[in-house]
Amino acid sequence: MSKTTSKPAHDPAASDYDTIASELRAAIDMSGLSVTAYTRSAGVDSPTANGFLNRKRPGMTEATLVKLARIAPQGSAFRARYAAQVEALPVPDAAPTAALANATGIIAVPFGKLIPNPDNYRKTFDPEAIAELAQSIRDKGVLQNLVTFPPVDGIYKINSGGRRYAALASLHAAGVISDDYPVPCLVRDMDAAEARALAIVENIQRQDVPVLEEAQGFRALADLGWETTRIAATCGLSLRTVQDRLQLLSRLHTPAQAALAARQITLDQARAIMSVPNEDDQASLLEQAAKRDYSAAALREQAKHGKAPIEAAAFDLADYTGEFLGEGKKRLFADMEQFTALQMKAAMAMADMLRTRMTEEPTPRPLYAAVTVLPKGEHFQSWNHTRTDDPALAQAFIYIGWDHKLTVESGWMPDDFDDEDDEDDEAGLAEANAAWIKANEAAQRERVRRVQMTNEFLESLRRHFISHPVDVLRVTILECLSNEFLFLGSGVEWAHGEPQYREAVATALGLPSLFSGSGEESDDYRLPDNLPDLLEIWKRLQIMSQGEVLSLMALIMASGVSFQPTYKPGPIESEILAATGISVPDFMMPQLGDLPDDPETDDQDEPIGADLDDTPDVAMAS
């Protein structure tokens, strides 16, 4: 008995099938939708369409292909192929729309008479959600009315219902509905504030509103005079949610807001980032979140670095208006700029108090010849000061210490303070002391400026290397070639590497021979005199691809790998060797590592490799 097979209702020839699948793929790309959203909008099963596109399920009925062609963009080859069949399809049922339009206060407005509201705060819609809504309108009509302003010159401007209008517009663009398609609308004559509030609330109550657009809606309602409690009650949200969203706008700086809007970071990560108010601190946390995928918990821990504990404060905590990190006695000051300003203010007050202190001698006089508050970021340097008990010479220095607390160093005299000419003249000593302090204020400020600029430069350099990791390898290669410490300070040495590897490096860089020793067995190594300078080598490295730089770095590192005859792989090294498939010499295996005793050599010098059990294993060196 012969075996029969069923033939699909529409089974184009292989050449036609490939063409049709390609045209459908192009139409989906033109629509800007995913395959799932496109097929769902057309009312077609997604697996069926995917099988057709991926050449795994060639059979598809013509009716299904026409459904897919109906929503294809105008001008696409796929729509043109089935143009006649698409024209013959019925328009979506308008009966539900007509029934809704008969309700009190609601009228049916032709689609062509509607325009979107340019003042609507909501700017983005999920394409797949709009496709689903469009399919719902195709199947059931518009079940919820739009709200419009009274017509102007016959045109109705939409106040709320932007998603429904977007779905209708997609059907109109696909030729599914015409300009005359009836849309149920509630026409309301509203003042600007009422209209805006209605539109905002209607949009916020949607589930797919982006979090920042939701926050902007809350702020718009607040600008209209709404209290946060009213916003929460009207929108059906908790008060904490409303306050949380508003803080995203007030505390999150623009780069982090942009990353949140682009979904490069999550809402939890954004909350962790805004726990620090400083823009530079937020930028650092944003980089950790976006580029290194730090979790929200890790970001919160990172935010604590460098923050002062509340116990360090020399001021009343009530004067601090910023946020704290942590809870209870372990709280940290989130706003270090405000903390430092308050701490410096407390230091000034402490200096004024110390200046009033007097000695207990028969003739009281100031306890300190001078009291100086060091600029923020600068610490007292005892190495250029000398201890003194003479009140005419002793000075006190106040500064913020490494532990963020105010620190007082008293009874010190600068080493470069010259008192020989005025040893018996207290007034002269005080005058000279004051002159020294004034002369050094500019130097102190310059030191602080240089420290700050150095830190900024270092941070910029680190960020460059993090974002351009191949440059780390390029600098390391320069260090290897020169045995000099550059930016990385690693000082990698490869002077004793195998000559053939050095020659391979030289060839890769187009350099002369890198081996200048007395012979291949010599450990003497120096750069030849005719080697180009490091800047020239850097330029050559810059034009090499990342893969070439990696290969070159591997050559350099491989040149430093060496073993002693007593080497035996350890557990970890054995696993590495097994994974790489490298054969280990038999004498390196643990069971064969001992050489046999040679009684004839008892009274002679031991040869290399004898008594290996008494020789510690030598680990792999590179």
Who's near 423: CB < 8 A, 6+ residues apart? 429
State residue 265 phi and psi, 5-degree precision: -135, 160
Report the CATH fold assignment for 14-87.
434 Repressor (Amino-terminal Domain) (1.10.260)
| Per-residue pLDDT, 440 | 65
Mean pLDDT of 14-43: 74
CB 528 within 8 A of CB 514: yes
Who's near 83: CB < 8 A, 6+ residues apart? 69
| Per-residue pLDDT, 67 | 79
Alpha helices in 517-617 (DSSP H): 534-542, 546-558, 571-580
48 vs 24: CA distance, rounded Å: 13
Residue 598 pLDDT class (50, 70, 90 cuts): very low
Across 2-6, 288-292, 421-425, 427-431, least confident range: 2-6
Q: For residue 344, is pLDDT > 70?
A: yes
Instruction: Tell me the pLDDT tens digit for each residue of 544-560.
Output: 888 888 888 888 777 66
Q: For residue 114, is pLDDT > 50?
A: yes
Q: What is the spatial order of strands in the sheet that 406-414 belongs to?
A: 370-373, 395-400, 406-414, 385-387
| Per-residue pLDDT, 7 | 42
Considering the chain, what is the average pLDDT of its residues? 75
Q: Helices then strands (H, E): number in the chain? A: 24, 11
Tokens of 70: 């109906």
Residue 417 pLDDT class (50, 70, 90 cuts): low
Interhelix angle 426-467/279-292, nearest 10 degrees: 30
Q: For residue 157, is pLDDT > 60?
A: yes
Q: For residue 529, is pLDDT > 60?
A: no
Across 124-133, 425-434, 453-462, least confident range: 425-434
Across 50-59, 461-470, 585-594, least confident range: 585-594
Q: Radius of gyration over alpha carbons of the chain, in Å? A: 39
- Give the strand pairing for 114-115 and 106-110: unpaired
Mean pLDDT of 91-108: 54
Instruction: Tell me the pLDDT tens digit for each residue of 60-82.
Output: 777 788 878 877 777 788 888 88
| Per-residue pLDDT, 599 | 46
Q: How many CB atoms lie within 10 A of CB 73?
A: 17
Letter for the amino acid at 475?
A: V
| Per-residue pLDDT, 92 | 53
Mean pLDDT of 333-337: 90
Q: How many CB atoms lie within 10 A of CB 184?
A: 24
Mean pLDDT of 354-380: 82
- Give the strand pairing for 324-325 and 156-160: unpaired
Letter for the amino acid at 394?
A: A
Letter for the amino acid at 550?
A: L
Give one word for 136, left, alpha or beta, with left for phi > 0 and alpha for psi -120 to 50: alpha
Residue position matching structure tokens 């800047």: 535
**pTM confidence score:** 0.45
Residue-wise DSSP of 196-225: HHHHHHHHHTSTT--HHHHHHHHHHHHHTT
Q: In the chain, where are the structural domains located?
A: 14-87, 351-449, 469-558, 571-614
- 494 versus 289: the higher-pLDDT residue is 289
| Per-residue pLDDT, 343 | 94
Three-point CA angle 580, 582, 583, nearest 5°: 150
Q: For residue 5, is pLDDT > 60?
A: no
Q: What is the spatial order of strands in the sheet that 156-160 belongs to?
A: 106-110, 182-187, 146-148, 156-160, 114-115
State residue 414 phi and psi, 5-degree precision: -60, 140
Measured between alpha carbons, how far is residue 347 from residues 183, 259, 397, 466, 470 in Å?
Answer: 71, 40, 10, 39, 47
State residue 57 phi and psi, 5-degree precision: -140, 80
Alpha helices in 389-542 (DSSP H): 426-467, 469-482, 499-509, 534-542
Mean pLDDT of 513-526: 47
